[in-house]
Amino acid sequence: MLNDSLLALANLLTSALTAITGVGGGMILIGLMPFFVPAAAIVPVHGVTQLVSNATRLVWSGCLRLYLFLAIFGGLIDGTVDIWRVSTLYTFRAYSVIYRYLYLTNNLAKHF
C-alpha cells in the first residue's frame, strides 16, 4: 500500500516536471520504478501511466480550447446579435415614425 502511494506521488511529481519543462518526467519515472514494482512490470506499468498522463492532458487541453473558443467567439456572437437587435429595433422605430408621419399628413390633407 505504501509502495503504491509512493509510486503515485512519484508519478505526480514527474508529470509536474514534464508539464513545467516539457521533457524528462517519463525518464525519471522509469528510473524510479524499480524501487516500487518488479522488473517484469516496469515497462507495462510505465506504459499505462504515460497513456493515462497523456490522455488526461489531451482531455484538459481540449476542454481549455473549448472554453477559450466559447469565451472569445461566444462574446463576439453575443455582441453581434445585440447590435443586430438594436439596429432592427431602431430601424423599426424609424419606419414606424415615417409611416405615421405619412399616414397623418395624407389623412389630414383629405380633410381639408
3-state class (DSSP) for residue 52:
helix
In sequence order, what E strands does 16-90 have?
Answer: none
What would the pLDDT profile of 45-88 be if each residue is shown by its tens digit? 888 888 888 788 777 777 777 777 777 776 667 666 666 666 66
83 alpha carbon, distance to own chain's centre? 26
Q: Is the pLDDT of residue 111 over 60?
A: no
E strand or H helix that includes residue 21: helix 2-21
Whether the pLDDT of residue 109 is over 60: the answer is no
Task: Report whether 54 contacts 61 (CB < 8 A).
Answer: no
CB 2 within 8 A of CB 10: no
* 15-42: pLDDT as tens digits: 888 878 888 888 888 899 999 889 898 8
Q: Give the pLDDT of residue 95.
A: 66
Per-residue confidence (pLDDT) for residue 11, from 0 to 100: 85
Number of folded domains that form the chain: 1
Q: Which domain holds residue 19?
A: 2-111
Site of grid cell 463576439: 76
